[in-house]
Structure 1
Amino acid sequence: MKIRTGVLSLMILCMFSLAGCWNYRELNELAFPLAMGIDKVPHQDEYRFSFQIVNAREIAGQKGGGGVVPVVVYSGTGKTLLEAVRKASKKVPRRISGQHMRDLIIGEELAREGMEEVFDLMERDPEPRLTTRVFIARDSDAETILKTLTPIENIPANAILGKLKTTGKVFAENYEVEIDDVIRGLLTKGGGPVVSGIKLSGETQIGPNRSILEQSDVPAELTVSGMALFKEGKLVKWMEDGEARGISWINNKVNSTIVNLDCENKKDAISIEIISSKTKIKAEIKGEQPLISINIRETGAVMEAMCSINLSKSEELRKLEQQWNEKVKDEVVRAIKEAQDLETDVLGFGEAVERANPKAWKKMEKEWDKIFAKCEVEVKVESKVRRSGEITKPYLFDLKK
């Protein structure tokens, strides 16, 4: 009898847990922003929070929705970020749910003043995913970026992320940085995060107009541009071209890229596509100063030769590899110099020192920005040409005989 009573009691308790979801939300009562933007309101001590919300009716292709833009941007302002979010709710007919956010865009003015408060909110709020990618709106504000429509991809948030993914895979001057990466960077002693920029160029005033989608030559377009370096939570410099790619090499973010080399007194006559790249950073303490060693190993293929080079000869390949090593080393050294001049360790050298010698790191961490600026760094690059395409001798070789 006691056993039956116990089983009955257990069944009754289970019924309470199966009664339903107490905090359920109906899908047709929610609005899903795929991108959010945060700006500092000019000449006011206020924030502006913007949401790029998908127009579900237009995306679904329902009849009667022709001419309707695929997204709508709502904004709210407030003394705090949360107040700005809640004020935006006055304009939105549904409850905003940030669970599917893909892009977080921060205006350049706010990034230069300091953005620690932004990520305090992002870390506390359970809705935004820490895997959301972060961008800095270069020479612009986040709201303007969010309002710009894009061809090919109907939803601008998807277009922005797609551009970053593509250029990160094939050119490596930019790479994906998530909210979690930025928070870790902000917590780094003597350093900071590195964040990709997104830039609006062309006829910026017509970016929100649907008419730009009806032209083959897009008058206003969004481009992934530069890497923003931070120190103490503030944007201090934009890195471009080879220096930006040098950061990617140091941080082991190069999947593939193109290296142009000189040939026969002709500048940038040979293009090598990097197939694989691996970077290892090691640190050791010499006396009281750290020595950082960066080792980069790469393989690649000759994809273009605008000179009469004979790649069937091993000595020609060795010359190319040596030139390739020097080119990569130059970009890496330039990136290191820029970071050291700014006294911001965006390269992970402090982490390498801590791994190698925790006791020494304890003594250095409070003054790491000053120590980092004077660190001795050795860069070694080992490259190997694995393929030369479908030919070893270009037709120019035979023409010049």
Structure 2
Amino acid sequence: MNTKEKRDETITIASGQLKGIRQTEIDAIAWLGIPYALPPVDKLRWKAPREVKPWTGILPVREFSNSSFQMIQGVPSGSEDCLYVNIWRPDHTDSGLPVFVFLHGGGNTNGSGSDFQGGQLACETNSIVITVNYRLGAMGFFRHPALRTGDPLDDSGNYGLLDIIHALKWVQTNIVAFGGNPENVTLAGHSAGARNALAAYLSPLSEGLFHKLCAMSGGLTTATPEQGEAKANDILASLLMETGLANNIEEAIDWISTQSAAAISDYLMGQKAILFAATIGETGLRMAAFPHLFEDGTVIPREGFENLKHRIQPCMPIILGSTASEFSGFASMDPYLLHQVQHGQLAENAEQKKLYEAVVQYGSELYAAFNVEQVAEKLIRSIPELPIYAYRFGWGLHDALSIPPFVL
């Protein structure tokens, strides 16, 4: 039991006062749903995040706020008003605690900061844990020529990554009020969140905002501006057919080719977020189905991670890792195996069970090669003195510790 003096859950940050919630069952305090930027709605859709406006009085931040707009099993969820952070810390008055900022996974098309609730981790490590909601899907990564304003940040298309960088700046400004050390910030992420964390490391805009990096199952993936613009036009064509302005793809292409940039921009700005989310749909492992993290030259350098050889990156400790059964989730959702997995029939079919186990084994090994070895090799070629640590999490390997990987 914590015998230290309890901390006040009402604190003052740069934009005003916050009242959190005491989580007595784990001896933590949480501040949930703190706005770190203006809502990116209306004229701020597809713009870099703007500073949050100060408020008067005490803002209660005692429950999770909106995640970014997304489709969950075909059902729309979330909101365009989604730029919030969640913070947990042990319930005592110590200050100068290390800070752990975690980015959720979900292919950058779904997920939320509420997916990982950091109170227990904060208490067990005597640290401050932060999760971030940022823009996803076409709200977070959309690059169309008709939307250009001449501002390199607004025109980058990398709004989700800019949200993350803005949240890291917010942490630098405000974390002392929570008892955190702004000079000891670890940026971590899982899957797409890990790829975002690595992209933040690559971005010149994040220099000095974090000091350690932990990428859990995420590789070095970027897209060219041309890929982004092609996908944006594909989305636009789909929307035109969905809203009845075109009856087929040929008519959609003709409409796009005959409209001014202003008319296309007005059309895109007038469409509901649900239509964009539904158009992208489920991308699974196919990064080509939703190109993002664009090499725009400002947020992400041209040539992406190949640019490491042209720049001096900060030398910081980096942890890279994957899990031994990394691919089990993807394999279980494959249409070829899905029915048998859902109805518990894999164990009854020796051939299919063997196939599933092979897919998990070799898929997981390929993932480890892409997410750990390749990342480490590329980083170490750029910065030979970089302290890189790698892990392989063995959950699922021993029946005594977990269920067998083929029984889901």
Both proteins in one fold, TM over 0.5: no
**Could you say which structure has the larger radius of gyration?**
1
Q: TM-score scaled to structure 1, two decimals?
A: 0.28
More strand by share: 1
